[in-house]
Structure formats: C-alpha cells, structure tokens
A and B are shown apart, each in its own frame.
Chain A
Amino acid sequence: MTVTETRAMLAQGGDRGASGHATAPRKRRYTEDQVSLGRVVLRTLAGLVVLVVFILPYLIMFFGSVKTKAQIRSVDPTYFPTEWHWENYLNMWSTPETPLPQNMVSTIVISVFATLLVLAVALPAAYYTARFRFPFRMVFLFLVIVTQMLQPAVLTSGLFRQFAALGMIDTWSAMIFINAAFNLSFAVWIMHSFFAGIPKEVDEAAQIDGAGRLTVLFRINLPLVWPGIVTAIVFTFVACWNEFAASLVILSTAGNQPMSVALTKFVGQYETSWHYVFGVSIVAIIPVVVLFMLIEKRLVGGLTAGSVK
C-alpha cells in the first residue's frame, strides 16, 4: 500500500470512525455546497462586520502612529489624522531611546529558534502520547501542563538566578530556552489532540507494509494533522514574539532586547512617545501576519485532506 493509498483509506476510515457510514470519497467540500446568492451576500456581510471589529483597534493604533507626539495627546481628538506623518515610520528606526533594527533582529532570532525547538521537541511527544498507552502517560501530560500554570511575574527572579549561575544572562540562547520551555506544553497538547483524531488503523496498515515509526509519523500522520501543527506553530511563535516578563530581566543590553521590551523605552517619566509606541507595534504585527499568510494555505489545505484521490 502506498502512502497515497493509505491516506485515501484514512479518509474512509475517518468517516467510519465518526459516523459508521462508509461512503466513497467526495470531491466537494463541506464549505462549498450549493448556496443561494442571498446566502453568499449574507455571509459576506457577516464577514465584513467581523473584519471591521477586528481591525478597529489597530486602525486607531495606526492613525496614532502617523500623528505627531503632540497630536496624539490632543484634548480635541479627530477620528482621522489631519496630517499624515509617514516619517515616523522612518525615524523610529534611529531614535536615541532604543536601537530598533537590532531589537527586530533579536525578536526574530529568539522567536524562530524557540519555535523550531518547540516543534522538534513537542512533535514526538505529542505523537507518542496520542498513539501509545504507557505508564504515567497521563502524569506526563498533566506535568507538562502544570508548568503553564505558574505566574511568570513571580518566576522571573528564579529564572534570573538560574541563568546567572549558568553564565547565560544577556544571551539570546537563554531566552530561546525559556520561551521554548514555557510554550512547549501547549504545543504538545494542541498537537496531541489532533494526532488523537487520526484512527490508529492507518498507522498499523503502514507498519504492516514495513514502514518505520518515523516514516509513519512524517509521511502518514503529519500531512493529516497539518492544521493542528500550524495552530501550534502560530501559537508558539506569537507567544515568543510578544514575551516580555523574562526578557525584561534576562536581557540587559539594549541591542539584545526584543521589541516588547524596546517599546517600554519610549515611556519617559513625564512624557511618552506614543507615536513611536504605536508605530513599532504596527511594525511588530506585520511579520506575524506574513508568517500566517504563508502557512494559512496549509490550514485551508487541511480542509481538503479528505478528498485526496
């Protein structure tokens, strides 16, 4: 049995598992059955409302970012900026407060490596716990999630002491480990729940064909749980991207700090450069949205998993 055949079988097996009916695979998607024009208009309207609601706060943020420092704190606010100070987006890269280009690099390096580390470590654990019963399986899953329940604000002092003892204060690697460790459990749980959704027979069939564990994992299971993996990746990446509490104390050199910490540098004792705070926030959102655009296809791709011929 080839891999494709196995997947096709899975599509049917999935059906059996859920409803007991075994029907031939269909090409049509659940989302695209015959719909009337009226319904499409209704959906588009609903989509539009969702769009507006989700963008609104960031529109306020964006408008703020093209105002001057004084305009933002105007007691007579306007809905739209009266002047557009696009130069804010240039100037913020070379402010005296913080070396933003370096902060951007820091954020990217820390988030990317922490996410990769999480994937490398969480994937096997999620797969194995979903596939096999073993002693302490529940204990393992529970222990893992327990680490998430600790309040970061209180843990920072212990983290600082630990990494000071290791001589890793003010290094990216310290933050990569910290981020990875604190996001591992959710990644394990998310992927676990998706692996658990795939019928075991698929694995068994493949193994009878002589495929090894890893082959089964990578060739058979992975394509089927892509939506789950994507969710876990985005979740981890975003959490690392915006992490603040530990970076604040672990990274002391301005150039090593991520953007979440850099933002606080614009807050003075009596005055805050809100236009930069907002501008930097907008800039910080973009890479995550781009990342999402790149992998969102995989999520949509998951929608058609059942129709592979």
Chain B
Amino acid sequence: MKKSLRLGAAVALAATASLTLASCGFGGGDSGGDSAGGKTTLDLLVPSYSDNTEQLWNDVIDGFEAENTDIDVKLEVQSWDNLESVVTTKIQGGEAPDIYNGGPFAGFAADGLLYAAEEVVSPETFSDFQDSFIKNAEVDGTAYALPLIASARALFVNNALLQQAGVNEAPTNWDELLGAATKVSALGGGVAGYGMPLGSEEAQAEAAVWLWGGGGSFGDAEAITVDDPSNLPGAEQIKKMIDAGATQADPGSTDRSPLMDIFIQGKIGMQVGLPPTVGQIEENNPDLDYQIVPIPTKDGSPFTLGVMDQLMAFNNDDGAKQEAITKFFDYYYSADVYVPWVQTEGFLPVTKSGAEALKGEEALAPFLEVLPDAQFYPSTNPKWQATDGAFKSLFGQIQSKPAQDVLTEIQAQVDAS
C-alpha cells in the first residue's frame, strides 16, 4: 500500500506543479510592470459612446504620452451596461481607477473618494468650463467632477409621415402632439405616431421629457421628489398618449436605441432624439425627410432635457498621480484635443473655447438653440443614482398601472436606498 501512497503523492505533486507553472508562466499579454522605471501609471476607465470611442481615447493618450514620457496611461473601455458594476468592484477592491468617465458622481463625492475639480486641473482649464455645466458638477459649492460632454434633447419629426396624415405644422404643445400622433398612427401598416421609449434603457429620460414638460421635477440637490403633485400632469399625459394609440405598441418595455432605428427608417412620426441621432440618420438613411423642433410641452413653453457626462478623478493618495492627472486633464481639454473628440462623438462641447470652435456646426445648431432652456437631472444629489435606477426598473409600468401608483413606488424605492 506504500506504493499507492507514493503514486497518489505524485499525482498531487503534478497538480501542484501545474498550478505553480500556470502562475509563473503567464503574465498575460502585454500587461505587467506597473510603475517600472519610475513612470507614473494612470488607469483610465471610460464607457463606449460609439464605435469611435476606443480610437478617440487612444489618440488622446498617444498624443499625451508623447509630450509626457514619464506618464503611462492605461485605457479600459467598457460598455455602459457593465461600466458601473466594474467601477464599484474596483472601488471595493481598493483599486479605483484614477480617471473615470461616467454619469452619476455625487455618491462618490459623498463618500469622499474624489478629488475636487480644482485640485486636478489648472485654473485656466477650470475657468474655461461653461458656468451652467460646472454648476451641475458641484456638491455643496465645490465641483467634484469635470463636465465632459453635454446633450440636449429635441423632437425629431418625420415630415413625410406628418404630411401624409394631414398634419402641416410640427406640434408645439401636448394637445397638438396628441392630435398629430394619433393621426399618424391611423395611417396603419406598422407606422406609429409617437415613439415613446419607457423601457429600462433610458426610462428616466423619456420620463423627464413628460413630467418636467408638465411643470414637474425630480427634485434638487437636497431632496428627491418624484412623488409630487407637479409630476402628475405629465404622467397622466403619457397614459393619455398610450390609451389613444398614439404611440408604438408596448411603450412601457420599449428601449430607446432600437426604437430610434425604427424612426430613422421612417416608420415613426415623431420621437425625442439628441445630437448623435443626426449622425445616425446621416449614416443609415440620409434620404429621411425630417426636421428637428423643440420638445412640445404642456403649454408650449420652451424646455429641453440637458444631460451631462463627467470625468472624475479618484483620490488614490498619490501625489505623483495627482500631478499626472492634472497634466492629463489640461492636455485633454485644450481646444485642439477636445474639439475633434467631442465633434466625432457628436455631442455638445462643455468648454467655452469648444463652444466657440463649434459655433458654426450646422448639425448642432438646433440643440445649441434650446440649450439655454435646459433642465438637468438632480445629479448633484447623492440619491440621484438610486433615482435613476428606480426609473429604469419601474417607470414603464405606467403603461398598465395608475400614474400615481408608479410615482409612489419609485419614490419609495428611492427613499429606501
């Protein structure tokens, strides 16, 4: 029996050996050597806006590293679906990225994880941000994030369909919108009057378009107030649109992107879109006869939903890194680097110099025009992230549940966070 023991040990040894081999054998591709040769390494975690994103960032990094040979920038691109869970995992593991591009930032700021904006950009760069945007990055008067890009929404109108339905003017208020959409829907053949995406992808945006357009609001930096009487008119109007058959089927579970594909191919009368939509139409159906008009509101008063994405810098207690981050941001926001970036992605610039450079851009004109009337998400409220999630997972129920119940349920989920 001694023999069997020896052989058993041999098997165990072989297994252990292969373990050891595996662990020293591979560093895996071209990773490794973190700060070899006194270089400072910056981890940059960004979401993918389009199929250009990775290339755009690589170009920025190449240009930056050429000027700063002692700094190494490591890029990680994630899809929006995975971005937030990846960053949370990294933070929990004590490996927060140095620079992060995302939406909600107030939660990170409240946990004391971020550098204040002025700690990581030069005064010149900081003063170049447009005031309205930097305000949306402030918590208690201190900016913790750097505006990256902005978008404003507007109503995309399929002229051909409206004409066919006998509607000559694009709607400016809810009554006109309901009338026009109902007529377009009546054309039949799979055509829908108004494209209403209340599915999980971006329910909070379509909700804001209606609730705020009726005089409501999600709240401010201090309190989230979704369950508020001022939000009811908008919510009721959504139901009215659905019940009148003015929208596509199943609006409560329709996602934004696929629906926009349908609009682009001329099967939807009207849908709210944003600057990159112009580029998508250009690419996929340049013959589409459309116009861009301000979003219709309850009483026709001007309004748009403004959305801003941010860059933020995590404080990893490393002076060298802080310095490197500052250099990177100053480089990135210089007009020569920033303008082509934002232009290719098709968004609105957030810097004064950028706005100046893109003033004449025709595709952006309808959005720049409505921008002064933009209202933003209460993203400076630490609970905004939870509110955003609650809208995504619950708001679409408005298709089948009473409007008040849905608002109450969302508020309850936010309060419980």
Binding site for B on A (CB under 8 A): 69-70, 73-76, 95-98, 102, 106, 109, 113, 116-117, 120-121, 124, 128, 156-157, 160-161, 164, 168-173, 176-177, 212-214, 248-249, 251-256, 264-273
User: Does any Cβ of A come within 8 Å of B261's Cβ?
Assistant: yes
CB-based contact A267/B81 at 8 Å:
yes
**Bound complex: CA A117 to CA B94 (Å):** 30
Q: Of all chain B residues, which has the CB nearest A70?
A: B284
Q: Write out the residue numbers on chain A whose beta carbons fall within 8 Å of the beta carbon of B277.
A: 270
Q: Write out the residue numbers on chain B whose beta carbons fall within 8 Å of the beta carbon of A177.
A: 19, 22-23
A172 touching B26 in the complex, CB below 8 Å, given contacts A124-B11, A256-B31: yes
Q: A171-B31, A270-B277 are in contact. List 6 more A-B contacts (CB 8 A).
A: A73-B258, A73-B265, A171-B26, A176-B26, A267-B48, A270-B256
CB-based contact B51/A273 at 8 Å:
yes
CB-based contact A253/B29 at 8 Å:
yes
CB-based contact A116/B29 at 8 Å:
no
User: Does any Cβ of A come within 8 Å of B163's Cβ?
Assistant: no
CB-based contact B4/A171 at 8 Å:
no
Among B7, B19, B23, the residue within 8 A (CB) of A212 is: B7
B160 to chain A, nearest CB (A): 15
A-B contact pairs, 18 of them (CB 8 A): A74-B265, A96-B51, A97-B54, A116-B18, A124-B11, A160-B92, A169-B95, A171-B31, A173-B25, A212-B3, A213-B3, A253-B31, A254-B77, A256-B31, A264-B78, A269-B47, A270-B260, A270-B276
Q: Of all chain A residues, which has the CB nearest B55?
A: A96
**Bound complex: CA A270 to CA B281 (Å):** 12
Contact with A along B87-105 (1 / 0, CB 8 A): 0111011110000000000
User: Does any Cβ of A come within 8 Å of B400's Cβ?
Assistant: no
Q: Of all chain A residues, which has the CB nearest B266?
A: A75
CB-based contact A268/B76 at 8 Å:
no
A276 to chain B, nearest CB (A): 9
Among A74, A98, A173, A268, the residue within 8 A (CB) of B50 is: A268
CB-based contact B79/A117 at 8 Å:
no
User: Does any Cβ of A come within 8 Å of B52's Cβ?
Assistant: yes
A95 touching B28 in the complex, CB below 8 Å, given contacts A113-B22, A156-B89, A270-B257: no
Q: Write out the residue numbers on chain A whose beta carbons fall within 8 Å of the beta carbon of B77.
A: 97, 254, 265
Q: Write out the residue numbers on chain B whose beta carbons fall within 8 Å of the beta carbon of A96.
A: 51-52, 54-55, 58
**Bound complex: CA A95 to CA B55 (Å):** 9
User: Does any Cβ of A come within 8 Å of B315's Cβ?
Assistant: no
**Bound complex: CA A251 to CA B4 (Å):** 41
CB-based contact A266/B4 at 8 Å:
no
CB-based contact A173/B14 at 8 Å:
no
Q: Write out the residue numbers on chain B whose beta carbons fall within 8 Å of the beta carbon of A271.
A: 50-51, 257, 280
CB-based contact A97/B19 at 8 Å:
no
User: Does any Cβ of A come within 8 Å of B69's Cβ?
Assistant: no
How many chain B residues have a CB neighbour from A under 8 Å? 65
CB-based contact A268/B28 at 8 Å:
no
A121 touching B4 in the complex, CB below 8 Å, given contacts A265-B48, A270-B50: no
Q: Write out the residue numbers on chain A whose beta carbons fall within 8 Å of the beta carbon of B30.
A: 253, 255
Q: Write out the residue numbers on chain B whose beta carbons fall within 8 Å of the beta carbon of A214.
A: 7, 10-11
CB-based contact A121/B15 at 8 Å:
yes
A81 to chain B, nearest CB (A): 17
The 9 closest A-B pairs by CB, nearest first: A172-B28, A96-B55, A213-B4, A172-B26, A214-B7, A161-B93, A255-B29, A160-B93, A171-B28
Q: Of all chain A residues, which has the CB nearest B20?
A: A173
CB-based contact A212/B4 at 8 Å:
yes
Among A113, A256, A270, the residue within 8 A (CB) of B29 is: A256
B1 to chain A, nearest CB (A): 9
Q: Write out the residue numbers on chain B whose beta carbons fall within 8 Å of the beta carbon of A213.
A: 3-4, 7-8
CB-based contact B89/A97 at 8 Å:
no
Among A120, A249, A255, the residue within 8 A (CB) of B14 is: A120
User: Does any Cβ of A come within 8 Å of B82's Cβ?
Assistant: yes
B360 to chain A, nearest CB (A): 24
Q: Write out the residue numbers on chain A whose beta carbons fall within 8 Å of the beta carbon of B4.
A: 212-213
A266 touching B28 in the complex, CB below 8 Å, given contacts A156-B89, A164-B95: no
A203 to chain B, nearest CB (A): 11
CB-based contact A102/B29 at 8 Å:
yes
**Bound complex: CA A272 to CA B255 (Å):** 13
Q: Write out the residue numbers on chain B whose beta carbons fall within 8 Å of the beta carbon of A173.
A: 22-26, 28
CB-based contact A270/B280 at 8 Å:
yes
Q: Write out the residue numbers on chain B whose beta carbons fall within 8 Å of the beta carbon of A248.
A: 78, 82, 86
Contact with A along B49-67 (1 / 0, CB 8 A): 1111111001000000000
Q: Write out the residue numbers on chain A whose beta carbons fall within 8 Å of the beta carbon of B92.
A: 157, 160-161
CB-based contact A97/B51 at 8 Å:
yes
B31 to chain A, nearest CB (A): 5
CB-based contact B257/A272 at 8 Å:
yes
A275 to chain B, nearest CB (A): 11
**Bound complex: CA A177 to CA B88 (Å):** 23
Among B80, B89, B276, the residue within 8 A (CB) of A249 is: B89
Q: Write out the residue numbers on chain A whose beta carbons fall within 8 Å of the beta carbon of B10.
A: 214
**Bound complex: CA A288 to CA B18 (Å):** 23
Q: Write out the residue numbers on chain A whose beta carbons fall within 8 Å of the beta carbon of B85.
A: 249
User: Does any Cβ of A come within 8 Å of B320's Cβ?
Assistant: no
Q: Write out the residue numbers on chain B whose beta carbons fall within 8 Å of the beta carbon of A171.
A: 26-28, 31
Q: Write out the residue numbers on chain A whose beta carbons fall within 8 Å of the beta carbon of B88.
A: 157
A249 touching B90 in the complex, CB below 8 Å, given contacts A74-B265, A96-B51, A170-B31: yes
User: Does any Cβ of A come within 8 Å of B262's Cβ?
Assistant: yes
Q: Write out the residue numbers on chain A whose beta carbons fall within 8 Å of the beta carbon of B81.
A: 264, 267
A124 to chain B, nearest CB (A): 5
Q: Write out the residue numbers on chain B whose beta carbons fall within 8 Å of the beta carbon of A253.
A: 28-31, 74, 76
CB-based contact B265/A157 at 8 Å:
no
**Bound complex: CA A214 to CA B94 (Å):** 46
CB-based contact A97/B94 at 8 Å:
no
Q: Of all chain A residues, which has the CB nearest B256?
A: A270
CB-based contact B51/A120 at 8 Å:
no
User: Does any Cβ of A come within 8 Å of B267's Cβ?
Assistant: yes
**Bound complex: CA A1 to CA B19 (Å):** 37
**Bound complex: CA A269 to CA B53 (Å):** 10
**Bound complex: CA A177 to CA B18 (Å):** 11
Q: Write out the residue numbers on chain B whose beta carbons fall within 8 Å of the beta carbon of A170.
A: 28, 31
